[in-house]
Structure 1
Amino acid sequence: MSRQQDEKALLDAVTARLAARRGPTDLRAPGAADVTWRSLLDCHVTRCIETRREAEREQHGHIDLSKYATYQDLSAHPVPEPSDPDTQQEWTLVREDSVRAHHCVCGNGRVPCDRCTGHGELVCEPLRACTGCAGAGSCARCGGSGQRGHHSAAAPARDERETCVKCGAPEAACPACRGAGRVRCTDCDGSGKVACPGCEGEGSVGHKACGGAGRTTTWTEGTIEHRSVKSEVPMPTTQPPVLVRLIASGAGQWRTADCGYGDRLPADLSDTHCAAVERGIVKRPGELARRARLRHLPIARVAVSGEPGLVFYAFPESAGCRVLPLPSARRVALLTAAAIGLAAAVKAVFMLLG
C-alpha cells in the first residue's frame, strides 16, 4: 500500500469519528485538516562478517598438524560463501612450510633440580629438641649435662620420669628423651638426609622451556571466521505520544519486510525512515551477507480545523483503522494553567481561614 492510500484510509476513519460529533465533514477540502506522520519503525540488521588473521603458534613436543588444510596467502584462500547471514563457522589452517621442530638444549626434557642441585636429597638435622621437655627439663638431676646436682629442679612424681641415660639418676629423666634432651628426627629417622620434595628424590625435574618433551614445534596458524553480527537501526526521535505507542504496539496491524542486497525498501516508508534504514544497512568491512528485517506501522497525526482542543492519531488495525483523539498541546496548556490557578485560589482561602 502506498503512502497516499494510507492517508486516504486514515482520513476517512477520522472523518467517520468526527461525524458523530459535528456531522458530515470533508477533511480532504483545502485547509480542513493538517496531516503529519508519526509512523513507528523497528529495523534489525543481521550481517555475516568475515575476519582473517594469522598468529605464530608454539607447542611442546611433537604435534600432528596433518588434519589442517594449508594455505599460501591467507587473504586469497577460498572458503564456502555463507548462504545465510546467521551463519557461524570457522576454519583453522596452517601456512605451507611454516612447521618447524626445535630440539631443546636439555636433550631429554629433564634438568637438574635447583633445590637439591641434582643430588635428590637434602641435609636434615638427625636429632631435634625433645618436644616433651624442650631440652631444658630433660633430667631433674643433671639437666642433660650428665653431672648430678648440676640442675636444681625438684624431682617430679615417680610415675612421670625414667632413669636418666646421662647421669643414671632414677625417676628423674623425661620419658620421651630419657634425659638426653634430644630425640631422633622423624623426617629422616636420624639419617641426616631426606628426599628432596622439589624432585621427589629423583635429582631432576621436567624442563619448563620445552615442557619436559625435549623439543618444541612452531608453525604459523591462519584462522578464517564467519560470525553473525546483529544490530538495531537508530530511528528518528519524532514519535507519537506514549499512550498511542502503547496501544499501537498491541492493536496495530504492523507490516513486515525482509530486505537483502538489491531489494527495494517498502514504498510506504517515509523519507525520514528510508534515510535511517539506508544509513543502517551500509555495507561493513568483511560483510558477506546481510538481512534487514523491518517492522513498521503508519500512524497519521491529524489536526482538524475547528477542533483546537483535540488531535487525532490514526493507524491501521486488523478490523480497519483505529482513531485515538488526544488533547492538543493548547488544551493541555490551558488545563495546566487552570489547575495552577485553582491550586493558588485554594491556598489563598486556607490562608484567610487560618
Structure 2
Amino acid sequence: MLNNIKDKRLSVAPMIDWTTTDYRYFARLFNPYVYLYTEMISTGAILHGNTDRLLRFDTTQHPLVLQLGGADITEMTQCAVIAQQRSFDEVNINVGCPSDRVQHNKIGACLMAEPETVAKLVHHMQAEIDIPVTVKHRIGIDEHDSYEFMRDFVVACADAGCKHFIVHARIAWLQGLSPKQNREIPPLRYEEVYRLKQEFPDLYIEINGGIDSVQQIKVHLEHVDAVMIGRAAYHNPYLLAEAMQLWGEPAVSREQILAKLYPYLEQQVASGEHLPSIARHLLGLFQGLAGARKWRQALSGKQHLTVDEIKAAADHTLNLIHKAQLATD
C-alpha cells in the first residue's frame, strides 16, 4: 500500500454514453473511494433540456464530479451553480474532447488554443461556487504539441484559480482523426505529465490515458497526485475492486456486488426505466473469466429483459467459474 494514498486519488473518466447514472451506481459497488464522473454534459442540455433527468444520481455515487462542455462564461457559471445546488462534489471543464461536434460548438480540446478563455471560465465559475473547478485537457493539439504549449495553458488556468488538472497524456488531432483514433494513435507521453508535476509541485496533477492495471496505477502514483482510468474501468469494472489494495483493503466479490445490484435494478424497473439499457453497463462484470461470453450474450441485444433473467445468467456464469476453478485446483 502506498504510504500517502490518503493524499492521492483514483478516478473513472467521463465517457459519453457510458458513465451514466446507472453505470456509476454499478461502479460504486466495486470501490467506495474512487471518484466518479458524469458524461460530458453541455451547458445547453442542462439549461434547456431535462435537467432533472440529466443530473440525477444516487447519493451512494459520491464523490461525484459533473463534467461540463461549454465556453460561454454566463452559461458555464450558471451550470456550475446548478452543480453545487445539486450536491456534486466538483465541476470539471472539458478541454480534451476532440470530436467534430464539440469543436463546432467551441467545446473540448479546441479550447486549448484559447487559454485565456478557459482561464476566464475558471475565474468566473470559481467566484460563484465553493466546490472545486478543475480542468481536463490534452498535452497538446495539432501542431501545438510541445511541452511548453501545455505548460503555458496550465499556467494561465492556474493563475485564474484552478489547482487541479487532469491531463490526458496524448495530443489531439482535431482534423484527420476520429475521437476513437485520438484515443489510440497519438503516442502516450507520460513523462510530460510527470514533468508538469515536478515543475509545479503545488498543483494537483492527475494523469489519464491508456492505464488498465493496478500495477500501472501504482507506478503513476509515484510521480503524480492522481490517476484517471477510462475504458478499462468500463470493460473490466472489477479493476476498481482490485484497486482496493491501494487502500490496504480486500476486493469485494462479484457475488457481493450482485447482491447489492439486484435491488437497484428492481427499483429502476419499478420506476419505469428500460432494463436492457441499464444491463449494457453490466457486460464487463466477468471479463476474463470462464462464462464471460455467455454472460454478455444473455444480456445483450434484448428488447425485453427481467431482473430474474439477469439473476439466472449470473448464477449460471458463477457456476461456470466455480467449475473452471475446480478443474485447475
Normalised by the length of structure 1, the TM-score is 0.14
Please tell me whether Structure 1 or Structure 2 has the larger radius of gyration of its CA atoms.
1
Say which structure is richer in strand.
Answer: 1
Q: Point out which structure has higher relative CO (alpha carbons under 8 A, 6+ apart).
A: 1
Say which structure is richer in helix.
Answer: 2
